Structure 1
Amino acid sequence: MTSKVTFEADKIDDPISHDTWLTQQVNTAFDRMENGLAVFVSNEEANAQMEDFKAKVRARNKNL
């Protein structure tokens, strides 16, 4: 996981790295969709997955 401090330092060194990464992610997503490999979930399922993820993060942070 990248910390905010590390990201800010990287941002100063290479200002287009995030844009390049984002472009690659979008292109990969469209390639997967065009090739039939994309998996779509309903809004309700996405919200449930996000709530599970948040609960895991909160539980992990309580142990610190």
Structure 2
Amino acid sequence: MTSKETFESDKKDKQISHDTWLIQRVNAAFDKMENGLAIFVSNEEANAQMEDFKAKIRARNKPLS
């Protein structure tokens, strides 16, 4: 097998793995919702959580002076 064929094969395997993972995550989310275990937040709260998340990432990646 050529390296290009190997690369394409590996890429396809990773795609299938990602698809399987994504399907599992979506199904788990729907299960939580159907069982009343899901927690919904407002758009404002979601935006605030995302800003906090981004700030933590930025702080972690700041170069040391």
TM-score normalised by structure 1 residue count: 0.77
Q: Which runs of 5+ in 1 are unaligned?
A: 1-10
State the one-letter code of the partner of 2:21: W
CA-to-partner distance for each residue in 1:10-53, whole Å, 9 max, x for gaps?
x6261311111110000000000000000000000000000000
Identity within the alignment, %: 80
**Helix, strand or coil for the counterpart of 1:44?**
helix
Structure 1 segments, 4+ long, off by >4 Å, are none
State the one-letter code of the partner of 2:54: K
Aligned residue pairs total 54
TM-score normalised by structure 2 residue count: 0.76
Query: Which structure has the larger Rg?
Result: 2
Q: Which residue number corresponds to residue 24 of structure 1? A: 24
Provide the alpha-carbon RMSD of the alignment: 1.6
**Helix, strand or coil for the counterpart of 1:62?**
coil
